[in-house]
A = this chain, B = another copy of it.
Amino acid sequence: MTTQQLTQQIQQKKSFLCIGLDVDVTKIPQHLLELEDPIFEFNKAIIDATHDLCVSYKPNTAFYEAYGLKGWQSLEKTINYINQNHPEIFTIADAKRGDIGNTSSMYAKAFLEDLNFDSVTVAPYMGKDSVEPFLAFENKHTILLALTSNEGAFDFQTKLSGGKELYKTVIETSKTWKNSENLMYVVGATKAEYFTEIRKIVPDSFLLVPGVGAQGGSLQEVCKFGINSNVGLLINSSRGIIYASNGTDFARKAREEALKIKSEMEVILMKNN
């Protein structure tokens, strides 16, 4: 998917919501556990109930790997279901991978080609040759961890590195890499005051923003400092939407929560135009 197609989808749906499919079988409705593939059935129901309200789905691979072979199968079925039924949706493999060059190529192939995700999250610690193999895929996107939404972000990411915070060095350096136009960045919503600084470095890039909702970030604050003329934001919510209820009404309740955020986004987009 091109960035332009993503932007068009945002304008059409009046939403820049990304729903995190972080499925923990201990938290999903009990009645699903009787089915052959509870994780996929859960995702399918969530997708059926929300696909017109969001522009992106983001399964975090940890939640699938935790169930071994069966989990990997659920992930495959989920991405195939989205690609077949809702090809307009921007899909993100939240994998946070990164390795030496030839090894990163294997990860890139796995997520962007074989599983056919539109994008994958990547950790920057190993530098240029660990990220460029992901950037080589045309019309695919690499979402680089810049400033994450967790407490540990302050351990290294905000430490001064060459006179500026490491996350700024990461973003600035990444702009010099080959095919850097395929880069997006993870910036946590719990740190809204940093968006002004980040927009000075990457005014046009898309930012994937976790941490709204359960983790305490504010949608209004993030948009105030982070939105650009093409919107340029994908706001992720996981637990607040997918675990809105653990009864048989879970999909309907998930839709209600997604609709609340989508409506708030619609107002923001009207003001932004």
A binding-site residues for B, Cβ under 8 Å: 22, 24, 60, 62-63, 65-66, 68-69, 72-73, 76, 96-101, 103-104, 106-107, 109-110, 114-115, 123-131, 145, 148-157, 159-162, 166, 169-170, 173
Q: Which of B72, B125, B154 contacts A156 (CB 8 A)?
A: B125
CB distance from A65 to the nearest CB of B (A): 5
CB distance from A121 to the nearest CB of B (A): 9
Distance of A169 Cα from B166 Cα, bound (Å): 12
- Copies, count: 2
Q: Chain B residues near A156: list those with CB within 8 A.
A: 124-125, 127, 161, 166, 169-170, 173
Q: Is the CB of B125 within 8 A of A68?
A: no
Distance of A162 Cα from B156 Cα, bound (Å): 10
Q: Chain B residues near A157: list those with CB within 8 A.
A: 125-127
Given contacts A62-B107, A68-B72, A127-B157, 4 further A-B contacts (CB under 8 A): A124-B156, A126-B153, A159-B161, A159-B162
Q: Is the CB of A130 within 8 A of B106?
A: no
By Cβ-Cβ distance, the 7 closest A-B pairs, closest first, are A127-B152, A127-B155, A62-B106, A66-B106, A100-B150, A129-B152, A128-B152
Q: Chain B residues near A166: list those with CB within 8 A.
A: 156, 159, 161, 166
| Chain B residue, CB-CB nearest to A121 | B99
CB distance from A54 to the nearest CB of B (A): 20
Q: Which of B96, B151, B162 contacts A99 (CB 8 A)?
A: B96
| Chain B residue, CB-CB nearest to A153 | B127
Q: Is the CB of B151 within 8 A of A114?
A: no
Q: Is the CB of B72 within 8 A of A104?
A: no
Q: Is the CB of A149 within 8 A of B100?
A: yes
Distance of A151 Cα from B102 Cα, bound (Å): 12
- With contacts A69-B73, A96-B99, A159-B162 taken as known, whether A150 is within 8 angstroms of B130 at the C-beta atoms is yes
Q: Is the CB of B106 within 8 A of A127?
A: no
| Chain B residue, CB-CB nearest to A152 | B127
Q: Is the CB of A69 within 8 A of B63?
A: no
Q: Is the CB of B127 within 8 A of A151?
A: yes
Distance of A104 Cα from B22 Cα, bound (Å): 12
Q: Is the CB of B152 within 8 A of A60?
A: no
